[in-house]
Structure 1
Amino acid sequence: MERRILLTECPDAKGLIAMITGACFRHQFNIIKNDQFVSETDSRFFMRTEIEGDFKNGNGDIMVNEIISSIPAGGRCRLEPESRKKILILVTKEPHVLGDLLMKSYSGAMPIDIVGVIGNYSVLEDLTAKFNIPYITVSHEGISREEHEKRMLEAIAKFKSDYIVLAKYMRILSPEFVNHFPKGKMINIHHSFLPAFMGAKPYQQAFDRGVKIIGATAHFVTESLDEGPIIAQDVIKVNHNYSAESMARAGRDVERMVLDRALSRVIADKVFIHGNKTVVF
């Protein structure tokens, strides 16, 4: 028995849950788990259904087509396999997020295969090599941003991945670069509780403001810096004894935890992008 994830999104209407679960029944798929949500602001319906059964002979595709023909216009439905996802990681110099992902992939704690790591410095190459994962250095020094991004795209094209993770990749990406990838393809971990303290040096910004909590935000990357749909966030308490540097040290655990939570949900197909928000099951 195979398991797959049925993902449906459309304008809300009466009877949608009955229609979708009825289609599963007619095609002899067993429903393991079902989650649904309707956005009150625009009456948009979202549903994630874990099913198991015999998907041979295109039975699953037939069911999806049946659902698509029945839901309101402007809706989408797709069937995703339960499988390990291929991840490409972009880094700069900080090892804590990369190291956490490497260990989780190696140990099986997260169902991901890291296909490669690309950095604008070679600092993290030795760490990556310990896990027998290819590392490419694409230096930004002495060249324009346009030329660097061109070389980055060439390096990224060498790998086939489901998602690109910016694991403390400390370069601002141009809209032209971001637009090379489908929406929802790139995930960033930002070391602040967005929308506060966007851009560079957020811990210094937090220290200067005298905040009593610091946090981290995992979000999808869009053309607008640090303004993409948020997937996960968390915070920890700080006080007047913290310097900007000690805030940064304390924040590393939050960054790892938040990215872990976000990536785990994304690779399990539990995240719908809804405008500049997300629906996370």
Structure 2
Amino acid sequence: MPAAQLPVDHACLIVHGTDSPGIVAAVSALITRQGANIVQFDQYSDNPAGGAYFQRVVFHRPGLREAMPAIEVDLDRTLGTGFDLDWSITDQSTPKRMAILASKQDHCLLDLLWRHRRGELPVEIPVVISNHTDAEADVAGFGIPFVHVPSVPGPDKSASEARILEVLADADVDVVVLARYMQILSADFLERVRVPVINIHHSFLPAFIGAQPYRQAKTRGVKLIGATSHYVTTDLDEGPIIEQDIVRVTHADTAFDLERRGADVERAVLSRAVLWHAQDRVIRHGNHTIVF
């Protein structure tokens, strides 16, 4: 995303933990004390009497980068005393570095690259990795490095996963997006990658988990199909959901029609999930997400 379109001197503060009186007052006073001004404020509590509490605050502070160490010390002191809270803070002028893993189907991949080129996604894309070369020329047209890592036949994917991890480490990524990658990542990979992994699944989860969901949907005779973007965990297609959407279908639609119409939903759902993650709008809480 062009640097001019990123919010300069804006920070995003995420606070979550146990709800208790005084959190809003303490955070607001801290931001004021640090010479900053709140421009966005969202909060949610599932039970005000000691339940789980979530807060997202965007504030403007001239000279933010220079002031950030002092702000972090103040946060540690303020929220670490008298509150059972965790916090994180990011400089909104620094885009997240997002690697994309793709396979033969390119609709989600090309949509993300197109939105990135238009300045709609506040990320950098240092690399696209694919187990096929079908999209190599298209990716090159966007000026983004393409790395081919062929899939290894058989159940043992450790060699190809090791190569992917090398590429991701060299690219210094903050998040990995599976744009219809169509490969199941091992528990070892997910542990070693050490960054969030976002997937797009071509059904409205929890319906039709696994392979060929459009064929499953046609066989079941559903009247709605959808797509789900979620964080990847070791449980197949059961990670915390970020975004979902649907489209109505009829008995006359073939499995191919469902796939064609579903592709539009997949693109929209994945792009929204990526945008919200890039803007620090998503807080994970167990197998759920809070999206501000």
Amino acid aligned to 1:189 = I
Write the distance in 2 (CA, Å) between the matches of 1:33 and 1:142. Answer: 50
SS in 1 for 2:193: coil
Equivalent residue number for residue 77 of structure 1 = 87
Q: Deviations over 1:197-230 (max 9, x none)?
A: 0111111111110000000000001111100000
Structure 2 residue 174 is the aligned partner of structure 1 residue 162? yes
CA RMSD of aligned residues (A): 1.7
TM (norm. structure 2) is 0.91
Write the distance in 2 (CA, Å) between the matches of 1:135 and 1:198. Answer: 30
Q: Is the 8 A contact 2:152 2:159 kept in 1?
A: no
Residue of structure 2 aligned with 1:230, choices 221, 235, 241: 241
Q: CA deviation at 1:247?
A: 0.3
Equivalent residue number for residue 150 of structure 1 = 162
Amino acid aligned to 2:138 = L
**Poorly superposed stretches of 4+, deviation over 6 Å:** none
**Of 99-108 and 232-241, the range deviating more from structure 2:** 99-108
Q: CA deviation at 1:153?
A: 2.1
Amino acid aligned to 1:199 = G
Q: Which runs of 5+ in 2 are unaligned?
A: 1-7
**Of 184-193 and 41-50, the range deviating more from structure 2:** 41-50
Structure 2 residue 54 is the aligned partner of structure 1 residue 46? yes
Q: Is the 8 A contact 1:60 1:79 kept in 2?
A: no
Equivalent residue number for residue 67 of structure 1 = 78
Number of positions where the alignment pairs a residue of Structure 1 with one of Structure 2: 279
Write the distance in 1 (CA, Å) between the matches of 2:120 and 2:215. Answer: 33
Amino acid aligned to 2:161 = E
Amino acid aligned to 2:168 = I
Q: Which runs of 5+ in 1 are unaligned?
A: none
Q: CA deviation at 1:192?
A: 0.4
SS in 2 for 1:158: helix
Q: Residue 213 and residue 174 in structure 1: after superposition, are their counterparts in 2 closer, same or farther (change >3 A)?
A: same
Amino acid aligned to 1:241 = A
Equivalent residue number for residue 18 of structure 1 = 25
Q: Is the 8 A contact 2:19 2:47 kept in 1?
A: no
Match runs of 1:113-152 below 5 Å: 113-142=124-153, 144-152=156-164
Write the distance in 1 (CA, Å) between the matches of 2:30 and 2:76. Answer: 10
Q: CA deviation at 1:141?
A: 4.4
Amino acid aligned to 1:165 = V
Q: CA deviation at 1:159?
A: 1.3
Equivalent residue number for residue 279 of structure 1 = 290
TM (norm. structure 1) is 0.94
Q: Deviations over 1:48-105 (max 9, x none)?
A: 11111143243322322233223523x2112111032211000001111111111111
Amino acid aligned to 2:231 = F
Equivalent residue number for residue 5 of structure 1 = 12
Amino acid aligned to 2:28 = T
